[in-house]
Structure 1
């Protein structure tokens, strides 16, 4: 690419960052890094009525947890700052005035009541009210009023907005990296508000001005902004600015594949839709992928495949691999179905990649029962059971018997394992275990299996009740690994408890 690539992620601080927003940030990050470019964070807080305290910091924390930090933004490499639109509001008025002066925009003095009247009137006649060339001369604006009338309203301090003057009888030819060529008939476009009566710009004006001044080369954003593309193209033309390339990402769909993924879907089906937990002072709280025990690598790997594919069968990519493989031309137009089971599959994979020592520390931190246990012992336990786990939170259920003796024996398993001769067999096994001095896995295996073979006993008649004695259920890793880990004295103690219960 001839220009230095600069992309931006521009969320609004109106609450926690949805996982769809994280996907948008990720694709921007991957594209920037692929082309040795810059990933910019801009906070679009022009709508102060929806501003939520703490939301901006949440966005920053979420990007950092996902290992896709911004290169430039609030408080960081502020080459084109400020990066909060609320701190740039004085800047936008001059560009709105410039559009009015060039005839590409105009003052509109219509009250909400007047607009409601026209809207109701059109609906009663079977029409849809659109504020554009069809009716702008019938409404209260600087195109229908005389220059003197307009000036009088401005001098009197009447409320007004500035609207873009959408052209009549034109066909716009737009380009999108993902969606190809798009044709738009300007006759169906309304005259969007660019500057509001409260002195703040709308998203459309602020977005274009900031992208231009921050030298953004590629705008990679969600499909929901596709209807705004025509206006944004026209604004670039009206200012005489070179426009960036656009790429509109597909929607993330519900697990059913129908409709956009929402927080309600997560609540209903039991999975997070936010990267981090969110506990505002007022309003709904929400858990996050981090707190639910997901690894950031798993979340990122999963999100990368929501709408993109590498063109191969490979599914496991670290961040460096994603950067190398990523290509906007391989992003799909169709919506991507969110699969809660698939992200668990990714998490299970990354669980196996984690070191036992690291997982042991996390396990110990999460359970008070382990506070006094040697973390090296916990790491050995983790090594035996993590293959069966998806989350660190699964560890206790999979391994509690390594730390505390089972209080009872699974009823269903007991019916399967206990026979008339089980007590006699377990008494013999107890004697064998008591006489083993070299309490190692190989010795235990050799002695007990040798005895089974010598006496022509079914392995199930021995191993099932032995496992029940040690675990309390028919689950867990190799029986001899368990005996070695809990030690001779504890193994004998648990065997005795089983024999007494028979």
Structure 2
């Protein structure tokens, strides 16, 4: 059995968007599952709109998601001589012809066909016309006028097109540049691509491409057309639904594993399972389990997955990932303050994104915060200064600095004063963090250490007594 070869072939006219990333993921997973090759090809024949910035954004997005490629990136713009060679082969074999019709003539033919209720396809005027040296021309593929082009789509099942419905498509423009449908066939054939997984907006291109494969004597790959992704209003996902760039989600504090897990579930399922690692997916993925209906992008589901991956994540890795977000907030953990890994551990249960994790960590490094107004009015009562002093005094006497010993101090103070945690805890929480919602009190004290805890308590007492 020959090697399975799949590809992802984005156009570098913008960032890597959610739909493209899912297509890349499906191709990557099948290549990995079947021990084949995953090839990255940049389709940059649209020279006017293709930019290096877009190429970099696509490569960055792929790398962030963990979708490594075995070959490439290859660039279509390097292959123009090859495309010319194959266009000439089709001409020489009588399977293509030069078309001299002007844009005005073509528009007139189109209008006439529409008026007469015919399909506005090219009428074949130049199919058997003699050469007109010196006149500009395009090269058209001479499509068969009878019969049916059929393939068995791995997702959609059998699909057929009547050949008489298909156009004599242009394969080379008047300026000599090749067209999309032509170069895709040449590239996939010469790269030995065996399976093409792509968006179902390409279904109408497929019969034309199959005819080109056959005309050139190339084996036809297997096709799978993935349904599109819709927004909540059931229209095609676009900027009005929110971010569509993969890297925008990174900047919004999402983890790559959450994004991968979410994207794969947009149209594919494995029983009732929701959580998948990349290793899981390689083992369990199959194109046959991709649904035929469009996936609806649900930001809440993505957020839920992200919270799961933060909660169960490695604190050391999360500390590295949250550092740039902290620096944006004017905090550099390497310049002092509590150990960041310890800080992160106290925040995992609450944070849904890395932005929330960073926001939650700031108070550990910046002690000059303001106190929540409503919280202060309630928690900073008349007895609070004396209680806070007593807590610090007892903390200072501890021989071991552990969660258990800190908790024991609070139990001792409450027993001594005949109070409950509700009469003491809120004042401590506010003194240490400035907020009424923070990690656990004992956790905060453990991470801040005795001296920083004392400093913050004294600041809070000064605030109350003022």
TM-score by length of 2: 0.90
Are the structure 2 counterparts of residues 296 and 484 from structure 1 closer, same or farther at C-alpha, using a change threshold of 3 Å? closer
Corresponding position of 2:87:
96
TM-aligned CA deviation for residue 304 of structure 1: 1.4
TM-aligned CA deviation for residue 169 of structure 1: 4.2
TM-aligned CA deviation for residue 180 of structure 1: 0.5
Corresponding position of 1:297:
257
Match of 1:444, SS?
A: helix
Corresponding position of 1:384:
346
**2:252·2:354 contact (CA, 8 Å) conserved in 1?**
no
Corresponding position of 2:48:
49
Corresponding position of 2:331:
369
**1:176·1:248 contact (CA, 8 Å) conserved in 2?**
yes
2:293 aligned with 1:334, yes or no? yes
Are the structure 2 counterparts of residues 463 and 404 from structure 1 closer, same or farther at C-alpha, using a change threshold of 3 Å? same
TM-aligned CA deviation for residue 496 of structure 1: 4.1
Match of 1:468, SS?
A: helix
Q: 1:431 aligns with which of 362, 378, 390?
A: 390
Corresponding position of 2:268:
308
**1:297·1:318 contact (CA, 8 Å) conserved in 2?**
yes
Corresponding position of 2:27:
28
TM-aligned CA deviation for residue 237 of structure 1: 2.5
Are the structure 2 counterparts of residues 481 and 18 from structure 1 closer, same or farther at C-alpha, using a change threshold of 3 Å? closer
Alpha-carbon separation, structure 1, partners of 2:406 and 2:56:
56
TM-aligned CA deviation for residue 322 of structure 1: 1.1
**1:60·1:69 contact (CA, 8 Å) conserved in 2?**
no
**1:357·1:376 contact (CA, 8 Å) conserved in 2?**
no
2:317 aligned with 1:358, yes or no? yes
Are the structure 2 counterparts of residues 109 and 363 from structure 1 closer, same or farther at C-alpha, using a change threshold of 3 Å? same
Q: 2:163 aligns with which of 180, 186, 196?
A: 186
The one-character-per-residue Cα deviations of 1:381-419 (angstroms, maximum 9, x if unpaired) are 11111221233332343133322335432123234445x
Structure 1 outlier segments of 4+, above 6 Å: none
TM-aligned CA deviation for residue 172 of structure 1: 2.7
Corresponding position of 1:465:
427
The one-character-per-residue Cα deviations of 1:245-286 (angstroms, maximum 9, x if unpaired) are 111111121233x222123432xxxx3x2233xxxxxxxxxx
Match of 2:145, SS?
A: coil
Alpha-carbon separation, structure 2, partners of 1:112 and 1:189:
20
Corresponding position of 2:71:
72
Is there any run of 5+ residues in structure 2 with no aligned partner, and where?
Answer: none
2:261 aligned with 1:261, yes or no? no
2:385 aligned with 1:414, yes or no? no
2:229 aligned with 1:252, yes or no? yes
Match of 2:331, SS?
A: helix
TM-aligned CA deviation for residue 176 of structure 1: 0.6
Are the structure 2 counterparts of residues 331 and 442 from structure 1 closer, same or farther at C-alpha, using a change threshold of 3 Å? same
2:451 aligned with 1:480, yes or no? no
2:201 aligned with 1:201, yes or no? no
**1:409·1:468 contact (CA, 8 Å) conserved in 2?**
yes
TM-aligned CA deviation for residue 127 of structure 1: 4.7
Corresponding position of 1:214:
191
2:141 aligned with 1:164, yes or no? yes
Alpha-carbon separation, structure 1, partners of 2:268 and 2:195:
18
Match of 1:49, SS?
A: coil
Alpha-carbon separation, structure 1, partners of 2:445 and 2:47:
63
Alpha-carbon separation, structure 1, partners of 2:364 and 2:338:
13
Match of 1:247, SS?
A: strand
TM-aligned CA deviation for residue 371 of structure 1: 4.7
Are the structure 2 counterparts of residues 39 and 485 from structure 1 closer, same or farther at C-alpha, using a change threshold of 3 Å? closer
The one-character-per-residue Cα deviations of 1:411-470 (angstroms, maximum 9, x if unpaired) are 23234445xxx3225414423432441073333322332332454434312222232222
Alpha-carbon separation, structure 2, partners of 1:488 and 1:371:
19
**1:360·1:375 contact (CA, 8 Å) conserved in 2?**
no
Match of 2:150, SS?
A: strand
Corresponding position of 2:453:
491
TM-aligned CA deviation for residue 334 of structure 1: 1.0
Are the structure 2 counterparts of residues 484 and 376 from structure 1 closer, same or farther at C-alpha, using a change threshold of 3 Å? closer
Corresponding position of 1:319:
278
2:152 aligned with 1:175, yes or no? yes
